[in-house]
Chain A
């Protein structure tokens, strides 16, 4: 049983290997869905496995055994591993609850702050303009969803590029991409191996919005230029944010621009293959978690005296 429940804890470490390639793929909507689905399944399997590893140790406590109406001690897996597994999963679950709660509170507070910055402002359709020299733009989900853009951003782009920017942000809102991002954030808290998936999901969401903007404006090059120029302007603006950790690999913005400049080309088979592999990982993970839970359930029934052990 222990072995079955350890598999879902190990599989997520393999997922990022596939995810990185998938996020920049040519079908960003499909990539977004498969990445998010895989992340959610892997995260839930992780939690089920941790719960399964925690339970046998907890049921050794007299109070819990009485509550569970156990008449025999629960015997699942090697005895030597019982307490280490229990301690490990208790610590991991406690850490998860704490991190998730903090993240939820923090995100909600940020959202409220952004919302109040946009509300009560002069509105033109779905657009809120903040008079600020630093170029910045984002989609603010809610009812109604809004596009928040600084005057600095508007000034560094041409009217044609404004159209691409607005189409991009509207695609975020109509595609409800914030839900995917929130799911990615919650999953990243469940397992360290899922953290890289968060970046991959964010990139896939941006790519999906980029493709929608290219479709709406009818001009891939224009959309690519709008993104590129906005990013360069944001970098050169005074009072800019402290630079990120230097990364060896190419960051998301150049990837998005080059994907737009690239003509639709072959290598399409790669995407379904990667998506299938990733979902297969998720399947293995959830399958073993479910099997482990079943074995555990059977073990509990045996301990409750409903089954005779070994039958």
Chain B
């Protein structure tokens, strides 16, 4: 039942989650390992299909691992240029004006309050 609700999400969202999981992982991951780490319940075959699609696009690289493949994120050739551009953007403290940033800079006071909030929230 819950399988279908996760699989009804747009294909792009699932691809994004799978690629994010690979980037966050320490090393190559098989379809089964990726599936177990994902927050949404997906069939292993669905994850394998998504990984194959990402591989076709060149977003991930794979190597043989037993009877299947282990996948890791592709460090693409554009990576360096993109990183440099990102660094340029970073120097601009003003950029949140158009680009809504996930988190803004913390003051020392903010940091203290935030740690207290998170500790209280975990209890």
Contacts and interface: CB of A to CB of B under 8 A. Distances in A.
A155 B105 contact: no
B65 interface: no
B32 interface: no
16 contacts: A121-B76, A124-B54, A126-B16, A130-B82, A130-B83, A141-B98, A162-B39, A165-B102, A166-B13, A166-B16, A177-B100, A178-B99, A227-B102, A230-B102, A232-B115, A235-B111
Interface string B1-29: 00000000011111111111101100000
Interface of B: 10-21, 23-24, 37-40, 54, 57-59, 73-76, 78-79, 82-83, 85-111, 113-115, 117-118, 120-122
Contact of A261 (B19, B97, B120): B120
Contacts of B82: 117-118, 121, 130-131
A124 B76 contact: no
Contact of A126 (B12, B89, B104, B115): B12
B114 A231 contact: yes
Contacts of B14: 125
Contacts of B23: 129, 151, 154-155
A110 B11 contact: no
A26 interface: no
Nearest to B73: A129
B20 A117 contact: no
B20 A127 contact: yes
A110 B98 contact: yes
A167 B109 CA distance: 28
Nearest to A258: B117
Contacts, number: 221
B20 A129 contact: yes
Nearest to A257: B117
Contacts of A122: 57-59, 74, 76
A55 interface: no
A251 B19 contact: no
Tell me what chain A mostly uses at the interface: helix, strand, loop, or mixed.
helix
A261 B121 contact: yes
Interface stretch (A2-10, A33-41, A63-71, A201-209): A201-209
Interface string A235-261: 100000111101110111110011001
Contacts of B98: 107, 110-111, 114, 141, 178, 181-182
Tell me what chain B mostly uses at the interface: helix, strand, loop, or mixed.
helix
Contact of B107 (A110, A150, A168, A247): A247
Given A149-B20, A182-B97, A251 B39 contact: no
Contacts of A217: 39
A251 B102 contact: no
A253 B21 contact: no
B93 A159 contact: no
Contact of A123 (B20, B59, B90): B59
Contacts of A231: 103-104, 106, 110, 114
A145 to B, nearest CB: 11
A191 interface: no
A116 B87 CA distance: 13
A138 B106 contact: no
A25 interface: no
Interface string A99-122: 000000011001101101110111
Most buried by B among A116, A129, A230, A250: A129
A163 B24 contact: no
B86 to A, nearest CB: 5
B103 A227 contact: yes
A224 interface: yes
B121 to A, nearest CB: 5
A310 B48 CA distance: 85
Most buried by A among B24, B90, B101, B110: B110
Contacts of A250: 109-110, 113
